[in-house]
Structure 1
């Protein structure tokens, strides 16, 4: 089991006890606005996020983002394929704006490049999600372009802004 810690946070596997909180924040319209999951999120859809698979295992692996005292703030994820991965973050509305996403992603990125030896990380977001785009830039990601109206999301064709970071850039 992969457990990551920062000065304020612990990133650990999600458990069945986390699921009511996960369901609540994933169904919050402001939290879900730019996320790709189907709405409404259901108990079955969030139950699939519970896994003891290690970070770096093929496919999506979620980790709860908690304060050291145990309060669940949200989750991060890594979708690994060979030596590359996509990452994501979702925080409850009450946890946004406190630097938790940056702290959690910094730990995830460091783990991906140092412990897992990944070559490249990527992330994408709706370009209207300016806080996440700014966060990716602050973390050192490079904006690689926007695919215009590239996917159907919540009843409209949506743009996809793409960002990436190489392991050599992170460790330099």
Structure 2
């Protein structure tokens, strides 16, 4: 199983022991506001996030974002389909605003382009989630467009902003921590 390391973090497979913390942050209204998972999150609904599936396997593969000392901060995900993948990142509220999401996403992108030889990564977000839009831009993603009122989410029609990053763009200079 792939574990990625950064100066402060380890991105490792989620374990059953992580699930109560995952349920807690996924049920936090501020964390869940722009996310697509059904509410309320329960131990049963998040149990499928525990998997020995290697990063780069087809479909969504989650990794716990932990401090090197082991404290769970959130999770990142890669949804690989052929030579492309969608990325996602979620952090518990106390872990936000400290650069952990940038560090974790940077490590995931580096692995996706370097070890998995993917051609393109993309992310789909609610454009009201300005903090994640800024994060994606800092990592090197570019805004590719927004579909207006394109999906029904938590009782309202919601816009969908798409961001993309090519391996060739990452190689040309998008790979530096900023």
> For residues 71-86 of structure 1, what are the structure 2 equivalents within 5 Å?
71-86=71-86
> For residues 15-54 of structure 1, what are the structure 2 equivalents within 5 Å?
15-54=15-54
Encode CA deviations 1:68-99: one digit per residue, 9 max, x unaligned. Answer: 00000000000000000000000000000000
Encode CA deviations 1:109-167: one digit per residue, 9 max, x unaligned. Answer: 00000000000000011000000001111111010000111111000000000000000
Distance in 1, matches of 2:7 and 2:110, equals 14
Note the residue ranges of structure 2 that are not aligned, 5 or more in a row.
173-178
Report the RMSD for the aligned CA atoms in angstroms. 0.4
Distance in 1, matches of 2:66 and 2:16, equals 15
**What's the TM-score, normalizing by structure 1?**
0.99
> For residues 92-171 of structure 1, what are the structure 2 equivalents within 5 Å?
92-171=92-171
Q: Which residue of 1 aligns with 2:91?
A: 91
Distance in 1, matches of 2:119 and 2:12, equals 23
**What's the TM-score, normalizing by structure 2?**
0.96
Secondary structure in 2 aligned to 1:137?
helix
Secondary structure in 2 aligned to 1:106?
helix
Secondary structure in 1 aligned to 2:124?
strand
Secondary structure in 1 aligned to 2:2?
coil
Note the residue ranges of structure 1 that are not aligned, 5 or more in a row.
none
Encode CA deviations 1:2-59: one digit per residue, 9 max, x unaligned. Answer: 1100000000000000000000000000000000000001111110100010000000
